[in-house]
Amino acid sequence: MKAVLADSEVWSSTKDTVVLMDYEGGERAITWLSKVSKELGDMLAQSVCSNDFRFKEAQVMVSYTHGHLPSKRIVFAGLGKKELFNINKVRIAIASAVNHVRQMGVKELAVRVAGHDLGVEDGAFATAVVESAILTHHKYDIHKTEKDQVFLERIVLAAQGKVKEIEPSVRYAIVVASKTVMARDLENMGSTEKPPKMIVDYVKKFSSGRIKVTALMKKDLKRMGAGGILAVNRGSSHEPYLLVMEYNSSKKNLPLVALVGKGIIFDSGGHSIKDACNMELMKCDLCGAVGVIHATMAAAELDLPVRIVAISALTENAIGPDAYKPGDFIKTMSGKTVEILNTDAEGRLILADALHYAKGFKPEYLIDMATLTGACFIALGSECAGLFQTDDDLRRMLMKSGEETWERLWPMPMWDEYGELMKSDFADLKNVVANGRTGGGAITAAKFLQNFVDKNQKWAHIDIAGVDWVEAEKDYRPKGATGYGVRLLTRFLADLSKQHY
């Protein structure tokens, strides 16, 4: 889908279809519509008064203009109750409109940039509209022999007298939403289609010339003593990689952010094998890495004034003749040793090496993202990710970015008592507290990772288990992988770059 700006009022910006949003009750929409067409205003008022259509959240109604306006149709979209409004209600309204008309004869939707009417900045409004339209429009259907016929081609933002002001926000939305769509497609892809080498080639192909890409292979990992990655990889027939992306690496005056992602291409659980129920979703155990990769691509395309080093640990956790086993001991890149109690707690092992490697770049901020624990999903469900951090300023920045993008975060405790539970009788650490039910699994996993981060490092761990996948289409999230983290991290990087300047 294309998104364009028009320096005109909304009624003359398209001959196709206009989207008109309002709070529940529709008073503003009725008044505004009546000014351009009394007949259409009366029609809308009648629909509202008869309770046929009330502008409730996600509610949509299509009406033909019958020649009273240049546009053929109006799509009325509800924002819900005024007192409950936030910027995400705009995304939901646009998603409802796009889903409703994408298979109708509608080719073009026009939306008036009216953020000030809703108490938000016009730029934020425009970003929400464009993001939602692109994210909603794209569905993962490459394996379908008979694809749904889609007519909708573009969304027009009518910004009379505001085009120059709004243009950066629209460009930002196009870039970030497009990268999120790419992330979703990669996450939805079957694991057999995307071995670690394919991810490396993908990044080399789609990274801009401004990103330096280095792929550390198995021989490099052996030389570096990356025992965590190598142990997890032992059951796989595919070579592991530590993928490094560097953006603006020569600009030492810019703040350096290290992004680290868990890239388990498929997680069988190893010898601690998972239940067959929902195991197909383990093709998404690389979502942390995919989010980090595409946020870095977005930052480069947007030319953000920030330095980034993005590190993705890529391997399968498979069962094979040489697969690592419960009771084994491994030595990580840091030199710390780990007793393996459960081979399904593999993500923290590959992140241990990746986090240690990231320390060598001396970043100002270090953020890792991973589908790490089922315990986080139990704690928080599917509406927010768990945030574990060592710095309050970093927490506030990430929480703000989460509210702006609606990829929300919730802060979790990082008390030392949880770290004590990860100590082993036979090694420096163990990779789970115990194989029985112990509680606090997301926290103990975060405390395990903290062992591989410097004490004075501004570090955050984001556990995205639960938000990486939706079982049924919801607003601008089609069924499947969500691409969570691309918009969150890009917004964080954009806000950080503004602070620097």
Q: How far apart are CA 54 and CA 43, in angstroms?
A: 13
- Any catalytic annotation for residue 56? no
- Mapped to the 3 state alphabet, what secondary structure does 195-212 carry? CHHHHHHHHHHHCCCCEE
Q: What are phi and psi of 86, to 5 degrees?
A: -150, 170
Cα Rg of the chain (Å, integer): 24
**What's the mean pLDDT in 345-359?**
98
Strand order of the β-sheet with 154-158 is 2-6, 154-158, 108-112, 17-22, 73-78, 60-64
Give the C-alpha separation, 265 to 252, whole Å: 34
Which residues are paired to 19 by β-bridges?
75, 111
Please indicate whether residue 348 is annotated as part of the active site.
Answer: yes
Is pLDDT above 70 for 492?
A: yes
Which residues are bridge partners to 75 per DSSP?
19, 62
Q: Average pLDDT, stretch 339-355?
A: 98
State pLDDT tens for residues 235-282: 999 999 999 999 999 999 999 999 999 999 999 999 999 999 999 999
Whether the CB-CB separation of 491 and 405 falls below 8 Å is answered with yes
Catalytic residue among 107, 162, 197, 274: 274
Average pLDDT over residues 138-151: 92
Residues 11-31 have pLDDT tens digits of: 999 999 999 999 999 999 999
Distance separating alpha carbons of residues 272 and 365, to the nearest angstrom: 34
Neighbours of 60 (CB within 10 A): 20
pTM: 0.96
Report the distance separating Cα 260 and Cα 388, nearest Å: 14
CB-count burial class (<10 Å; 0-12, 13-18, 19+) for 303? exposed
DSSP assignment of 319-357 equals --TT---TT-EEE-TTS-EEE-S-TT--HHHHHHHHHHH
pLDDT score at 313: 98
Per the structure block, which two tokens stand in for 78?
Answer: 């509800």
3-class DSSP state of 217 = coil
* Predicted confidence (pLDDT) at residue 216 exceeds the cutoff of 60: yes
Please state, for a pLDDT cut of 70, what percent of the chain lies above it.
Answer: 100
pLDDT, tens only, 89-143: 999 999 999 999 998 999 999 999 989 889 999 999 999 999 999 999 999 999 9
Q: How far apart are CA 396 and CA 400, in angstroms?
A: 6
Q: What is the pLDDT of residues 378-387, one digit of tens each?
A: 999 999 999 9
pLDDT confidence of residue 93: 98
348, 447, 458, 477: which is the annotated catalytic residue?
Answer: 348
Calpha distance 66→64 (Å, rounded): 6
Residue 444 has pLDDT above 70, yes or no: yes
Supply the pLDDT for residue 208.
80
User: What confidence tier does 331 reach under pLDDT thresholds 50, 70, 90?
Assistant: very high
Kindly tell me the sign of the dihedral angle through the C-alpha atoms of 283, 289, 290, 291.
positive
Q: For all residues of the chain together, what is the average pLDDT?
A: 96
pLDDT in tens, 415-441: 999 999 999 999 999 999 998 778 999
- Say how far apart CA 133 and CA 468 lie, in whole Å: 20
